[in-house]
């Protein structure tokens, strides 16, 4: 069953969330490259204090209503705490990651990295006590669709999540994507999402439009039916192979 990833915790949770359906992520965003007024902490604090202030802010936003006990299984937690961008030095990275580890496993179930290269990912994995269980990177031709990072993730049991899949994507006009869209009578965007998922990628879709969510769900059901039809297996395999070759060629 698919999970719904919520990137920004709401002000509070009305009832215990079903753990197999709703996954809540939050990020620690370092000051580098971001406006200080957009950050949930005092930028004069040490790195470890910045992390704690940021995480505590997210956990506070996830508090139950006043009528609900905030202890035991009702204690607020996030499924994944993600380092938004790497820090400029190994020392700073280690300080931030170690502080993030201190929330694991009770207040934070998993730790992750975003906008990360293979070199940084490998280093964090090797030096950390709590290994990264998730990588969240932009899906684009400029990085060769992250073939090397995705391979490392697959070899180490790390979930690879992709964002920005539709942004200026040349893949939308590619032959496999268009052929699948026409065959299943779905949009090229949904066709691309579906093919990316077949590459072992978790797709992050940032829409807040209810109707778009419903439309995507309906079109995904069409694609699943097509992929499971015995008479479509040869065509489906051909489309999938050509899409995989296309990604490898641009790596």
pLDDT of residue 88: 94
Q: Is residue 154 part of a domain?
A: no
- Count of domains in the chain? 2
Mean pLDDT of 110-133: 98
Q: Both 194 and 240 in a single domain? A: yes
**In whole angstroms, what is the distance from residue 180 CA to residue 183 CA?**
5
Same domain, yes or no: 214 and 90: no
Same domain for 171 and 249, yes or no, is yes
pLDDT at position 213 over 80 = yes
Domain that holds residue 194: 167-251
Q: Are residues 104 and 3 in the same domain?
A: yes
Checking if the pLDDT of 215 tops 90, the result is: yes
Shared domain check, 1 and 109: yes
Answer whether residue 137 is part of any domain.
no
**6-54 per-position pLDDT tens digit:** 454 444 344 445 555 678 999 999 987 566 667 788 888 999 999 999 9
Of 73, 106, 132, at which residue does a domain stop?
A: 132
Tell me the pLDDT of the chain averaged across its residues: 88
User: Could you tell me whether strands 159-163 and 22-28 are parallel, antiparallel, or unpaired per DSSP bridges?
Assistant: unpaired
pTM as predicted: 0.88
């Amino acid at each position: 069953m698919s999970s719904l990833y919520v990137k920004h915790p709401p002000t509070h949770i009305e009832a215990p969330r079903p753990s197999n359906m709703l996954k809540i992520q939050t990020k620690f965003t370092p000051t580098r490259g971001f406006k200080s007024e957009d950050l949930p902490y005092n930028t004069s604090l040490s790195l470890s204090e910045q992390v704690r202030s940021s995480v505590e802010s997210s956990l506070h936003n996830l508090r139950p209503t006043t009528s609900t006990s905030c202890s035991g299984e009702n204690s607020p937690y996030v499924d994944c705490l993600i380092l938004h961008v790497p820090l400029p030095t190994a020392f700073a990275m280690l300080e931030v990651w170690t502080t993030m580890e201190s929330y694991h496993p009770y207040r934070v179930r998993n730790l992750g990295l975003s906008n990360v290269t293979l070199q940084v990912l490998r280093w964090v994995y090797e030096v950390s006590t709590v290994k990264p269980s998730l990588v969240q990177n932009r899906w684009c031709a400029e990085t060769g669709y992250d073939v090397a990072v995705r391979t490392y993730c697959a070899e180490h049991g790390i979930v690879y999540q992709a964002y920005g899949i539709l942004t200026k994507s040349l893949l939308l006009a590619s032959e496999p994507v268009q052929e699948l869209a026409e065959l299943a009578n779905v949009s090229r965007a949904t066709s691309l999402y579906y093919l990316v998922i077949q590459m072992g990628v978790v797709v992050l879709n940032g829409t807040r439009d209810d109707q778009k969510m419903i439309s995507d769900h309906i079109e995904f059901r069409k694609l699943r039916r097509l992929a499971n039809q015995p008479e479509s297996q040869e065509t489906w395999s051909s489309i999938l192979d050509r899409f995989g070759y296309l990604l490898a060629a641009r790596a």
